[in-house]
């Protein structure tokens, strides 16, 4: 065994690779397998290799602190579960990163758009199909157990950003400051369109090629320094990257200038933004941890497990919220008719949620996630069923409109004479007392 | 955030550049504007934008769009649509005064769709498709349901490539009550690749386009042959917009037209994405001696084509040729009449039709259709499609077709009776029209009484009957040679032409407005008031009579009523109480 990577790959064949499981291999402290200065190696799959301490006493107690750190890095923590429930917790208690990832959904639509506001000057071509197949599709295939994905792309012409950039004399370039970034997205969004055919949330990744008169265009962050990747992302929406083109001397090249987009650079940025938007973020690790890079898939197995843990918890919370609001609605409006299939969906949702919680307690992540997905589907189907809109055919205002004209004229004389009778009865009761 | 991205970038191991891939499917865009002066002095402007995409839209997986709009591409692949034709029209094309139209559309909204034969539930797909189109075009197409959808058997044959023509895959619906306005034009313009920023689409300003006698915008999607050998299939999207400018309201009586006068804009450049961008002006002169029409600026070329049985001449302005914008930066095409126009003879179109409702009262009526064939010596057949809503109950035994006083039996009749609240009447007939004749088709109907919740909020406006459709292959006076679809102008390749001796025409008649027996909707309020009054007066007084007891009352001094009465008595001059 020369390197720890080869060891990890060989050990993978020995362990049974269950979702949510974690294997920690303890090697002697003096072993040359791990490089110098590295105490723990976290691999691509669900295993880690750590150095054992050579002291006297209970070996397990000695390494338990380290194992705790490994588990917190590779599996879920209290913070990550709180983040998953972030929509139900008041906002000031959490950090700013918690609202970034998309809410759990059964599917997502990803759209890559190339914005070319100046087709007279730039004839932009991008080989998006090949880029998606080689960079994005492996990542989405790995996430296939989490949700369904569909990928689209389009080219939009004459689509301008909502903000006109400032000219900076020092760098002789145009600048988009961090304060103006929130205003960029709104005018573009009208052109992007929503998906006509599905109800899944949409992630938009835009590649903007600035106009010839506004080239080169750089994005500045809050400190005034230009952002390295020239891109930014918006929570729960997507990302935008600005792609600058080198223009040759004006009279040399005829307009429009043919541009072939370097898809490697672009896909690096978009894939990083995609990871952030799904909540796959970096945890701070102690110094002597060595993290293996995810490889071609862009996602390690234990990162996928972390996503599944948080998603399962979020799904169960969603189910409970939905069913609770349905129950509250029925309490308020007693007239709503619940059909049999809606009732069976509610029962199924409750049963699936209970199964999911049981499976979570015993640690079976795969079946817990499937059960929580079924629970969410059933609860959404029950809550959004169109038949809930039909009230019973006797609304209150119709009752008033029909019965009051009949009974009010009849009731008034009767009530008045009743009042008179009561008054006379009271008087006659007083009379015998008086005369006596 | 940048730091996180940098760290994550360090983790990603990316492949080198991918292996050699085939280029993306090619697509091309052509745009054209046709200005044709009409015999009555008005001017018709027809815009056509055609995007052609050499791709197979029905494969699974990822789809990448460039000139073809993503919204329509997704619809086609999800619902397995083979052809889609949607038109929104305001106004009516007066065939007798304006001549034969290139592409006519019925008043309101019309949608007809051919599905692929792999669709299992056509009705479900039709319902979902009409709902999604309603959202995409901001039109109330969601009112299309089974009560106004029919399945024609002979009338709407596919306009693109087709190998299977099972008519159960076709659905046709018309909403005659639909109104077209700016909010329908905006999503239509959004589908164009250049938007309204460059090319001919800059002329499409809503305030001028809706100030017209006839406004029709349409979207046509169909599969076509990629080349002459027809081994592979491309998808074609045509967006057409036809407007007719009225001579009196816009020209103030003068019959000189210019682009600026009509659209309040001029053309400055072609769309950079278009492979062809042209303006055609119809300058066929009716008399042999002098030209009546003068066009400025002088056209660079002239195109002759035989269109609709007539040889016509067109002045061509090619926006992509660099010499066009040499003189001035903007192009403003002007048409001037050299001589007064009353010497122009109005040639009547070969085929035109008219429809009206006759009868009296609110129980029965009669629908009459008159079809005119003005060709001097040729007879030809015409297919008539009538869709009548279920609440006008047609009696087919009263169907009478007469030509020149004699009875004319149709060679093909397809009649599908209506089912109340489920399906409309469908009547399709193939009628032979003799030369130079008028054919009258009459059918009687009875008006039904609807349930009170089925009336619209304005029931006294009436109920619409959708226009009937006439499809015919009209024989042409001159021989037309079939031209290559890619080289000829777009307005000549709308309908597939089979041979050179006849051309295809589809005409629509007027929609009808029929009054149904309407109940008085204020009756519930009346009933409540009456019942209230009767019960209060009769029952109240009866009860009082039965239960009133009388007893002596001491005269009381004072009280507000007594003081008020005394004031009135003082005014009258009568002693107080």
Structural domain boundaries enclosing B321: 24-343
Question: Quick check: is B565 in a domain?
Answer: no
Question: Quick check: is A219 in a domain?
Answer: yes
Burial annotation A56-87 (CB, 10 A radius, 16+ → b, else e): eeeeeeebeebbebbeebbbbeeebebbbbbe
- A87 — contact with chain B (CB < 8 Å)? no
Is residue A157 located within the same domain as residue A261? Answer: yes
> What ranges make up the beta strands (E) of B141-231?
149-150, 170-175, 214-225
User: Which residue in B78, B135, B531 is closest to A406 by CB distance?
Assistant: B531
Asked if residues B42 and B282 have their Cβ atoms less than 8 Å apart, the reply is no
Candidates B227, B517, B237, B247; CA nearest to B392 is: B517
Is residue B312 located within the same domain as residue B379? Answer: no
pTM (whole model) above 0.90 = no
Asked if residues B212 and B181 have their Cβ atoms less than 8 Å apart, the reply is no
Quote the minimal CA–CA distance from A255 to chain B in Å: 11
Question: Quick check: is A238 in a domain?
Answer: yes
Instruction: Identify the residue with better confidence: A233 or B290.
Output: A233
- A291 — contact with chain B (CB < 8 Å)? yes
Question: Quick check: is B507 in a domain?
Answer: yes
Query: Sheet harboring B293-296: ordered strands across?
Result: B257-258, B334-337, B293-296
CATH number of the domain residue B467 falls in? 2.60.40.740
Contacts of A275 in chain B (CB under 8 A): 8
Residue B10: what pLDDT? 42
Question: Quick check: is A316 in a domain?
Answer: yes
| Interfacial A residues in 5-64 facing B (CB < 8 Å) | none
Is residue A144 located within the same domain as residue A259? Answer: yes
Is residue A271 located within the same domain as residue A310? Answer: no
Distances B207 to A208, B183, B322, B515 between C-alpha atoms, Å: 33, 12, 31, 34
| Interfacial B residues in 31-90 facing A (CB < 8 Å) | 62-66, 70-71, 74-75, 78
Is pLDDT of B456 > 50? yes
Residue B349: what pLDDT? 87
Is residue B202 located within the same domain as residue B167? Answer: yes
Residue B288: what pLDDT? 43
- B24 — contact with chain A (CB < 8 Å)? yes
Question: Quick check: is A60 in a domain?
Answer: no
Is residue A230 located within the same domain as residue A270? Answer: yes
Whether the predicted interface score ipTM is above 0.90? no
**CB-count exposure of residue B259 (10 Å: 0-12, 13-18, 19+):** buried
Is residue A226 located within the same domain as residue A118? Answer: yes
Is residue B374 located within the same domain as residue B316? Answer: no
Question: Across the interface, do A272 and B8 touch by the CB < 8 Å criterion?
Answer: yes
Is residue B326 located within the same domain as residue B451? Answer: no
Distances B117 to A120, A211, B82, B235 between C-alpha atoms, Å: 43, 46, 9, 17
- B571 — contact with chain A (CB < 8 Å)? no
Question: Quick check: is B520 in a domain?
Answer: no
Is residue B329 located within the same domain as residue B436? Answer: no
DSSP tally for chain A: helices H, then strands E:
11, 14
Is residue B193 located within the same domain as residue B241? Answer: yes
Q: What is the CA radius of gyration of chain B?
A: 33
Question: Quick check: is B548 in a domain?
Answer: no
Question: Across the interface, do A409 and B532 touch by the CB < 8 Å criterion?
Answer: yes
- A101 — contact with chain B (CB < 8 Å)? no
Residue B91: what pLDDT? 92
Residue A43: what pLDDT? 80
> What ranges make up the beta strands (E) of B417-536?
425-433, 437-447, 463-465, 469-475, 502-508, 512-514
Is residue A255 located within the same domain as residue A356? Answer: no
Structural domain boundaries enclosing A184: 107-278
Question: Quick check: is A257 in a domain?
Answer: yes
Measured distance CA(B295)–CA(B335) in Å, rounded: 5
Is residue A186 located within the same domain as residue A270? Answer: yes
Question: Quick check: is B148 in a domain?
Answer: yes
Q: Rounded mean pLDDT of chain B?
A: 86
Instruction: Identify the residue with better confidence: A102 or B378.
Output: B378
Residue A56: what pLDDT? 67
Asked if residues B122 and B80 have their Cβ atoms less than 8 Å apart, the reply is no
Residue range B132-143: mean pLDDT, rounded = 93
**Location of structure tokens 């640690």:** A363
Residue range B555-565: mean pLDDT, rounded = 78
Question: Across the interface, do A153 and B65 touch by the CB < 8 Å criterion?
Answer: yes
Is residue B333 located within the same domain as residue B381? Answer: no
Is residue B294 located within the same domain as residue B440? Answer: no
Is residue A129 located within the same domain as residue A186? Answer: yes
Domain boundary among B297, B315, B343: B343
Question: Quick check: is B98 in a domain?
Answer: yes
Is residue A141 located within the same domain as residue A260? Answer: yes
Measured distance CA(A323)–CA(B516) in Å, rounded: 48
Cis peptide before B297 (omega within 30 of 0): yes
Measured distance CA(A48)–CA(B3) in Å, rounded: 26
**Location of structure tokens 């009561």:** A422
Residue B262 has which token pair? 């009509």
**Location of structure tokens 């609440």:** B391
Q: What residues contact residue A359 under an 8 Å CB cut-off, 6+ apart?
A: A365, A367, A368, A371
Distances B154 to A180, B81, B176, B354, B415 between C-alpha atoms, Å: 60, 19, 22, 21, 12
Task: Give the pLDDT confidence of A363-413 residue by residue, as tens digits.
Answer: 888 899 999 999 999 999 999 888 877 765 666 777 777 788 778 888 888
Residue B63: what pLDDT? 82
Is residue B365 located within the same domain as residue B339? Answer: no
Contacts of B274 in chain A (CB under 8 A): none
Question: Quick check: is A244 in a domain?
Answer: yes
Is residue A212 located within the same domain as residue A328? Answer: no
H/E run at residue A328: helix A301-332
- Count of all residues that appear for chain B in the document: 577
Candidates B50, B412, B70, B378; CA nearest to B236 is: B50
Is residue B259 located within the same domain as residue B309? Answer: yes
| Interfacial A residues in 406-435 facing B (CB < 8 Å) | 406, 408-410, 412-414, 417
Task: Give the pLDDT confidence of B242-274 residue by residue, as tens digits.
Answer: 999 988 777 676 778 889 989 998 998 889 999
Is residue B303 located within the same domain as residue B187? Answer: yes
Is residue A264 located within the same domain as residue A199? Answer: yes
Candidates A263, A264, A239, A259; CA nearest to A127 is: A263
Asked if residues B176 and B424 have their Cβ atoms less than 8 Å apart, the reply is no
- B14 — contact with chain A (CB < 8 Å)? yes
B77 backbone dihedrals φ, ψ, rounded to 5°: -80, -30
Question: Across the interface, do B14 and A267 touch by the CB < 8 Å criterion?
Answer: yes
Work out the pLDDT band at A191, boundaries 50, 70, 90. confident
Domain boundary among B315, B343, B371: B343
- Count of all residues that appear for chain A in the document: 436
Quote the minimal CA–CA distance from A339 to chain B in Å: 23
| Interfacial A residues in 199-238 facing B (CB < 8 Å) | 221, 227-229, 231-233
Residue range B528-557: mean pLDDT, rounded = 82
Domain boundary among A244, A278, A312: A278
Is residue A313 located within the same domain as residue A352? Answer: yes
Is pLDDT of B513 > 80? yes
Measured distance CA(B467)–CA(A131) in Å, rounded: 51
Question: Quick check: is A169 in a domain?
Answer: yes
Measured distance CA(A260)–CA(A249) in Å, rounded: 18
The number of domains in chain A is 2
- Return the sign of the alpha-carbon dihedral for residues A87, A89, A95, A96: positive
The number of domains in chain B is 2
Is pLDDT of B553 > 90? no
Task: Give the pLDDT confidence of A233-274 residue by residue, as tens digits.
Answer: 988 889 999 999 888 766 666 778 888 999 999 999 999 899
Residue A336 has which token pair? 């709503």
Question: Across the interface, do A158 and B194 touch by the CB < 8 Å criterion?
Answer: yes
Residue B18: what pLDDT? 40
Phi-psi sector, B72: left (phi>0), alpha (psi -120 to 50), beta: alpha
For the ranges A130-139, A161-170, B383-392, B498-507, the one whose mean pLDDT is highest: B383-392
Is residue B269 located within the same domain as residue B402? Answer: no
Residue A94: what pLDDT? 61
Question: Quick check: is A95 in a domain?
Answer: no
Question: Quick check: is B3 in a domain?
Answer: no
Residue range B524-532: mean pLDDT, rounded = 84
Q: Rounded mean pLDDT of chain A?
A: 84
**CB-count exposure of residue B526 (10 Å: 0-12, 13-18, 19+):** exposed
Question: Quick check: is B183 in a domain?
Answer: yes
Question: Across the interface, do B12 and A157 touch by the CB < 8 Å criterion?
Answer: no
> What ranges make up the beta strands (E) of A59-165?
107-116, 122-125, 148-157
């Amino acid at each position: 065994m020369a390197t720890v990577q080869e060891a990890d790959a060989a050990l993978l064949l020995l362990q049974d690779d269950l979702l949510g499981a974690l294997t920690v291999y303890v090697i002697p402290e003096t072993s040359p397998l791990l490089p110098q200065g590295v105490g723990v190696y976290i691999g691509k799959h669900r295993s880690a290799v750590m150095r054992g301490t050579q002291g006297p006493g209970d070996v397990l107690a000695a390494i338990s602190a380290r194992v705790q750190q490994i588990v917190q890095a590779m599996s879920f923590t209290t913070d990550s579960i709180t983040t998953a429930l972030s929509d139900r917790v008041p906002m000031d208690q959490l950090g700013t990163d918690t609202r970034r990832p998309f809410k759990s959904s059964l599917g997502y639509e990803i759209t890559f758009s190339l914005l070319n506001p100046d087709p007279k000057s730039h004839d932009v071509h991008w080989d998006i199909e090949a880029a998606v197949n080689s960079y994005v599709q492996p990542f989405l295939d790995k996430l296939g157990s989490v949700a369904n994905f569909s990928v689209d792309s389009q080219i939009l012409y004459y689509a301008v950003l909502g903000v006109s950039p400032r000219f900076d004399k020092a760098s002789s370039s145009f600048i988009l400051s961090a304060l103006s970034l929130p205003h960029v997205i709104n005018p573009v969004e009208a052109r992007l369109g929503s998906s006509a055919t599905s109800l899944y949330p949409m992630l938009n990744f835009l590649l903007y090629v600035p106009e010839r008169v506004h080239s080169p265009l750089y994005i500045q962050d809050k400190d005034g320094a230009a952002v390295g990747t020239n891109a930014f992302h918006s929570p729960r929406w997507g990302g935008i990257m600005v792609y600058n083109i080198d223009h040759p001397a004006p009279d040399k090249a005829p307009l429009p200038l043919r541009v072939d987009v370097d898809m490697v650079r672009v896909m690096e940025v978009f894939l990083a933004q995609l990871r952030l938007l799904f909540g796959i973020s970096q945890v701070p690790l102690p110094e002597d941890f060595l993290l293996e890079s995810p490889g071609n898939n862009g996602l390690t197995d234990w990162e996928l497990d972390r996503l599944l843990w948080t998603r399962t918890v979020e799904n169960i919370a969603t189910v409970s919220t939905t069913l609770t609001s349905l129950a509250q609605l029925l309490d308020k409006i007693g007239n709503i008719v619940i059909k049999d299939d809606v009732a069976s969906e509610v029962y199924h949702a409750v049963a699936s949620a209970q199964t999911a919680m049981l499976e979570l307690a015993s640690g079976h992540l795969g079946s817990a996630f499937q059960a929580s997905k079924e629970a969410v589907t059933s609860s959404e189907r029950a809550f959004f069923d169109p038949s809930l809109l039909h009230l019973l055919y006797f609304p209150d205002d119709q009752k008033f409109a029909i019965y009051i004209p009949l009974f009010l004229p009849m009731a008034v004389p009767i009530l008045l004479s009743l009042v008179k009778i009561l008054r006379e009865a009271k008087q006659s009761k007083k009379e015998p007392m008086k005369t006596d | 955030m940048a730091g996180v991205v940098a760290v994550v970038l360090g983790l990603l191991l990316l492949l080198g550049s991918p292996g050699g891939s085939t280029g993306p499917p090619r697509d091309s865009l052509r745009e054209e504007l046709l200005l044709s002066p009409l015999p009555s002095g008005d001017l018709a402007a027809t815009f056509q934008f055609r995007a052609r995409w050499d791709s197979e839209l029905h494969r699974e997986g990822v789809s990448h769009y460039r000139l073809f709009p993503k919204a329509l591409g997704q619809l086609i692949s999800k619902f397995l649509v083979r052809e889609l034709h949607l038109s929104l029209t305001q106004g009516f094309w007066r065939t007798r005064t304006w001549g034969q139209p290139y592409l006519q559309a019925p008043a309101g909204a019309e949608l007809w769709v051919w599905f692929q034969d792999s669709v299992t539930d056509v009705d479900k797909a039709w319902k979902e498709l009409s709902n999604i189109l309603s959202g995409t075009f901001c039109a109330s197409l969601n009112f299309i349901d089974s009560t106004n959808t029919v399945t024609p058997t002979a009338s709407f044959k596919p306009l693109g490539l087709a190998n299977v023509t099972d008519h159960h895959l076709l659905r046709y619906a018309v909403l005659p009550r639909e109104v077209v306005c700016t909010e329908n034009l905006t999503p239509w313009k959004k589908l164009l690749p250049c938007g309204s920023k460059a090319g001919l689409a800059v002329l499409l300003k809503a305030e001028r386009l809706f100030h017209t006698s006839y406004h029709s915008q349409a979207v046509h999607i169909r599969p076509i042959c990629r080349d002459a050998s027809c081994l592979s299939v491309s998808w074609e999207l045509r967006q057409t917009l036809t407007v007719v400018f009225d001579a009196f309201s816009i020209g103030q009586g003068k019959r000189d037209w210019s682009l600026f006068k009509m659209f309040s804009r001029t053309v400055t450049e072609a769309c950079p994405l278009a492979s062809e961008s042209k303006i055609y002006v119809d300058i066929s002169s009716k008399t042999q001696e002098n030209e009546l029409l003068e066009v400025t600026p002088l056209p660079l070329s002239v195109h002759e084509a035989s269109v609709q049985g007539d040889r016509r001449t067109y002045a061509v302005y090619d926006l992509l040729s660099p010499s066009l914008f040499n003189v001035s930066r903007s192009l403003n095409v002007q048409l001037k009449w050299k001589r007064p126009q009353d010497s122009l003879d109005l040639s009547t179109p070969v085929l035109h039709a008219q429809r009206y409702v006759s009868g009296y009262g609110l129980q029965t009526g009669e629908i009459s259709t008159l079809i005119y064939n003005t060709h001097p010596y040729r007879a030809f057949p015409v297919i008539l499609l009538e869709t009548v809503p279920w609440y006008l109950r047609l009696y087919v035994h009263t169907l009478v077709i007469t030509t020149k006083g004699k009875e004319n039996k149709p060679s093909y009749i397809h009649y599908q009776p209506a089912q109340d609240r489920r399906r409309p009447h469908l009547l399709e007939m193939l009628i032979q029209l003799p030369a130079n004749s008028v054919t009258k088709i009459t059918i009687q109907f009875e008006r039904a009484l609807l349930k009170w919740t089925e009336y619209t909020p304005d029931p006294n406006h009436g109920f619409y009957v959708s226009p009937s459709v006439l499809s015919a292959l009209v024989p042409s006076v001159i021989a037309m040679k079939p031209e290559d679809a890619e080289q000829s102008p777009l307005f000549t390749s709308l309908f597939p032409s089979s041979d050179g001796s006849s051309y295809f025409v589809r005409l629509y008649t007027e929609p009808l407005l029929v009054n149904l027996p309407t109940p008085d909707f204020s009756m519930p309020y009346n009933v409540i008031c009456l019942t209230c009054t009767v019960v209060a007066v009769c029952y109240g007084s009866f009860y009082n009579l039965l239960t009133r007891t009388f007893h002596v009352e001491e005269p009381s001094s004072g009280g507000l009523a007594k003081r008020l009465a005394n004031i009135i008595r003082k005014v009258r001059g009568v002693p107080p109480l």
